[in-house]
C-alpha cells in the first residue's frame, strides 16, 4: 500500500528521471496517484496528480526537475479520494517542509482539526499531509528536526513510515512505525524507500530499519536515532544479492504466498483504521434502524458476506441476509425500500454484478453502503458511505488478504453494534501470525500427500461454513481440481456416496461445533475416506479424524478466520505441486467488469 522514495545527492542535479524510475519500480504495490518534489536551496518544486506514473510524469514534466534532494510517492487512497490535492508529497503551511508517507495515520481526522485550530494551512484530506504538519507543529515550537520527528511520532497513531525534508537543509529525514522502510547507501548519494525494488538498481548496500528508528540522510552518511530517547543507534549495512523479481515478492516464490503472510499486518492496520473511521457512526446508526439488512457480494466477497451474517446474528442479535449479487435482483430488489440497508462488497469496487444489484437497490430507495479495497472506485463513489479494506494492492488473482479484511470488517461492525470495545479484537493479528507459523509445515506435508486427488470436499458448520466455501473456491481456482464446499450436515444427504478409500474430505472446525463435526468425520472414515480436520487442539478431533491441522486456541469469534488460513495455504501448495501458477490461474480475472 503506497510507496515512497527519497534521495540525497552531493550536488544539484537532474533528479526527475531518477524519481520517475524509482516510482515505476514501486508500481507493483498498487497506486492511484503519483507525485514528486525536489528541494534546491530555499526552493521546493512540487508536482503531483491522480493517474499513472508515466502520464503524470509527462503531463507535469518530471524529467525537468532539478535539485539536491528529491522525494516521490505512489499513493493508494485511504483518506481522501484520488485527486491532485490529495496526491503526495505534501507541503507544510509555509511551503518550507515537504514530505510523503506510506501507511495509515488512523487519527488523521482529529489531527487535521487540531492543525486547523492551531492556525496551520491544511489543504487536503490525506493523512500524508498530517505527517508533515505533525513535524511542523514542533518545528514551530523550537524543536530540532530529529526531536520534532520524535515528538510527531507520539501524535501520529497507526502504522506508517514517512520521509520529510526542508529548505536550506541538505538532509532528508525519515521514520518507521509498522510500515516498511529501508535505506540505500551509494557512491555520492543515500536514499530511502518503502521497499527494495526502488533502491537496488542504484545500490546493493542496504540498511534495514526497525520500528522506532529515525534516520537522517546526508549525501555521504546515514545516522540512526532512537525515537524513544534520541540516542544514536549503531547498525551495519548489508549487501543485498537477490534478484529483482524475488525482491518484489518479498522473497516469496509467488505473490499469493506473500499476500497470505501479509494478512496479520493488514488486519492490524484495518482495526486501527476502523476504530476511528469518520463514517462509522453513520453506518452503525443506519444498520440499527434498518428494517432489513442485506450483505451483497460475489465469489469470495459473498463468502465474506455469509460470514458477516453469522457475526451479526451471534454478536448483535441482528439478522442479516447474505445474497449473491445477481440473485439479489430477482429475489429481494422488488421488496426493498428506504427502510432497508444494503452493504455491497467488492474487492475492486468495479464488479459488474455488484454494481447491477446496487443500481436496482438505489432505484427502490434502499440505503446503500459499500466495502471495497479501491478507494475512488465506482462502488465507493456512488454509495452513501464506504468502508475501506486497507489491504494495499493484491496482485495475485485469488483473493486472500482482501477476503480476511472483509470478514474482519463485518466482525468489527457486529462487535460495535453489540456495544463491544475494539480492544477485544486486538489479539487477532497475532493469532493469525501464529496460525501461519503453526500450520505451514503441516499443510505442506498434507498437500504433497493428497495432491493426486482431483476431487475433494470442504465442509464447515456455523461460523466455519463460509470458510469451507472459501477454501473450496481457492482449490478450484488455482489447482483446477474439483472441490465442493458445503455445510457439513448436508454431506450425508447425497454427496457421501462419493467417498471411496482415501477420498479426502476437509472439515473446518469451530471449537463450539466439535461434537457435530465428529459425527460427520466418522461418516467419512467408516467408509474408508480420509477426514482432515482443521481446528484448535482437541482430543476428540485427534481421536476421530484421519489428520488434524492444528491452529492456535482462540475464542469462537476468531476460529473461522484462523481456519481459512491453512485452507489458503493448502490451495497454494497443491497448485505449486501441480505446476500451476497460483498468481495467474487460467480463465480468471482479478476484476470482473462484465455480466
- For residue 113, with 0-12 CB atoms within 10 Å meaning exposed, 13-18 middle and 19 or more buried, which class applies? exposed
Strand-pairing partners, residue 239, are 205
Nearest CA to 203 out of 241, 248, 164 is that of 241
Half-sphere exposure of 543 (CA within 13 A, CB side): 8
Q: d(Cα 90, Cα 132) in Å, to the nearest integer?
A: 7
Active-site entry in 2, 131, 368, 580: 2
Active-site entry in 59, 205, 298, 590: 590
**Residues 446-451: contacts with CB within 8 Å, 24+ apart?**
446/532, 446/547, 446/549, 446/570, 447/570, 447/573, 447/574, 447/577, 448/573, 448/577, 450/504, 450/530, 450/532, 450/574, 451/574, 451/577, 451/578
- For residue 490, with 0-12 CB atoms within 10 Å meaning exposed, 13-18 middle and 19 or more buried, which class applies? middle
Residue positions counted in the chain? 595
Q: d(Cα 379, Cα 282) in Å, to the nearest integer?
A: 18
CA 519 to chain centre: 37
**Helices and strands (DSSP H and E) totals, the chain:** 19, 25
Residue with cell 527494495: 196
- Residue 391 appears among annotated catalytic residues: no
Q: What are phi and psi of 362, to 5 degrees?
A: -65, -35
- For residue 110, with 0-12 CB atoms within 10 Å meaning exposed, 13-18 middle and 19 or more buried, which class applies? middle
* Contact assessment for residue 36 and residue 65, using Cβ atoms and an 8 Å cutoff: yes
- Residue 2 appears among annotated catalytic residues: yes
Any residues with CB less than 8 A from the CB of 67 and at least 6 apart, and which?
12, 13, 15, 38, 39, 40, 43, 45
Half-sphere exposure of 225 (CA within 13 A, CB side): 19
Helix, strand, coil shares of the chain, percent, nearest 5, are 40, 25, 35
Taken in order 308, 312, 314, 319, the sign of the CA dihedral is negative
| Cβ neighbours of 99 (radius 10 Å) | 31
CA dihedral angle for residue 218, residue 70, residue 42, residue 62, rounded to 10 degrees: 160
* Contact assessment for residue 217 and residue 172, using Cβ atoms and an 8 Å cutoff: yes
By annotation, the residues acting in catalysis are: 2, 590
Amino acid at each position: 500500500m503506497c510507496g515512497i522514495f527519497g534521495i540525497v545527492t552531493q550536488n544539484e542535479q537532474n533528479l526527475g528521471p531518477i524519481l520517475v524510475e524509482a516510482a515505476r519500480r514501486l508500481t507493483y504495490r498498487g497506486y492511484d496517484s503519483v507525485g514528486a518534489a525536489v528541494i534546491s536551496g530555499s526552493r521546493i518544486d512540487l508536482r503531483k496528480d491522480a493517474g499513472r506514473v508515466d502520464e503524470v510524469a509527462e503531463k507535469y514534466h518530471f524529467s525537468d526537475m532539478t535539485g539536491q534532494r528529491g522525494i516521490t510517492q505512489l499513493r493508494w487512497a485511504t483518506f481522501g479520494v484520488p485527486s491532485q490535492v490529495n496526491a503526495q508529497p505534501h507541503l507544510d503551511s509555509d511551503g518550507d517542509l515537504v514530505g510523503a508517507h506510506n501507511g495509515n495515520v488512523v487519527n488523521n481526522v482529529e489531527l487535521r482539526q487540531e492543525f486547523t485550530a492551531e492556525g496551520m494551512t491544511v489543504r487536503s484530506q490525506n493523512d500524508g499531509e498530517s505527517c508533515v504538519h505533525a513535524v511542523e507543529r514542533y518545528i514551530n515550537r523550537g524543536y530540532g528536526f530529529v526531536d520534532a520527528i520524535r515528538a510527531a511520532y507520539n501524535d501520529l497513531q497507526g502504522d506508517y513510515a514517512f520521509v520529510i525534508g526542508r529548505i536550506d537543509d541538505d538532509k532528508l529525514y525519515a521514520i518507521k512505525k509498522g510500515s516498511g522502510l529501508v535505506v540505500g547507501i551509494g557512491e555520492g548519494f543515500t536514499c530511502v524507500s518503502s521497499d527494495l525494488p526502488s533502491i537496488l538498481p542504484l545500490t546493493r548496500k542496504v540498511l534495514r530499519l526497525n520500528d522506532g528508528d529515525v534516520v537522517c540522510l546526508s549525501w555521504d552518511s546515514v545516522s540512526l536515532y532512537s525515537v524513544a530517547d534520541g540516542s544514536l543507534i549503531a547498525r551495519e549495512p548489508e549487501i543485498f544479492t537477490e534478484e529483482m523479481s524475488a525482491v518484489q515478492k518479498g522473497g516469496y516464490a509467488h505473490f499469493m504466498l506473500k499476500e497470505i503472510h501479509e494478512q496479520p499486518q493488514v488486519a492490524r492496520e484495518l482495526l486501527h483504521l476502523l476504530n476511528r473511521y469518520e463514517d462509522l457512526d453513520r453506518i452503525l446508526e443506519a444498520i440499527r434502524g434498518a428494517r432489513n439488512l442485506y450483505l451483497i457480494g460475489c465469489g469470495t466477497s459473498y463468502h465474506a458476506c455469509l460470514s458477516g451474517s453469522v457475526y451479526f446474528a451471534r454478536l448483535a442479535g441482528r439478522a442479516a441476509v447474505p445474497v449473491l449479487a445477481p440473485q439479489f435482483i430477482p429475489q429481494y430488489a422488488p421488496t426493498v425500500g428506504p427502510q432497508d440497508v444494503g452493504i455491497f462488497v467488492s474487492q475492486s469496487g468495479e464488479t459488474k454484478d455488484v454494481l447491477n444489484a446496487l443500481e436496482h437497490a438505489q432505484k427502490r430507495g434502499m440505503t446503500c453502503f459499500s466495502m471495497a479495497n479501491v478507494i475512488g472506485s465506482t462502488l465507493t463513489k456512488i454509495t452513501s458511505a464506504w468502508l475501506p479494506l486497507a489491504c494495499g494492492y493484491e496482485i495475485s488473482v485469488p483473493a486472500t488478504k482482501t477476503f480476511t479484511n472483509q470478514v474482519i470488517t463485518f466482525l468489527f461492525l457486529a462487535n460495535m453494534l453489540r456495544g463491544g470495545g475494539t480492544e477485544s479484537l486486538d489479539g487477532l493479528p497475532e493469532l493469525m501470525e501464529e496460525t501461519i507459523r503453526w500450520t505451514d509445515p503441516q499443510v505442506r506435508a498434507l498437500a504433497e500427500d493428497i495432491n493426486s486427488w482431483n476431487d475433494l470436499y470442504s465442509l464447515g458448520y456455523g461460523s466455519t461454513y463460509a470458510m469451507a466455501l472459501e477454501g473450496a473456491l481457492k482449490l478450484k481456482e488455482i489447482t483446477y481440481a474439483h472441490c465442493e464446499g458445503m455445510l457439513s450436515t448436508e454431506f450425508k444427504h447425497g454427496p457421501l456416496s462419493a467417498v471411496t478409500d482415501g477420498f479426502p474430505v476437509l472439515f473446518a472446525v469451530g471449537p463450539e461445533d466439535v461434537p457435530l463435526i465428529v459425527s460427520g468425520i466418522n461418516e467419512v472414515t467408516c467408509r474408508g475416506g480420509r477426514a482432515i480436520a482443521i481446528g484448535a487442539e482437541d482430543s476428540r478431533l485427534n481421536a476421530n479424524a484421519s489428520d488434524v491441522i492444528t491452529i492456535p486456541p482462540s475464542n469462537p469469534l476468531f476460529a473461522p478466520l484462523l481456519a481459512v488460513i491453512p485452507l489458503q495455504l493448502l490451495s497454494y501448495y497443491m497448485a505449486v505441486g501441480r505446476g500451476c501458477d497460483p498468481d495467474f490461474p487460467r480463465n480468471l480475472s482479478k476484476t470482473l467488469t462484465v455480466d
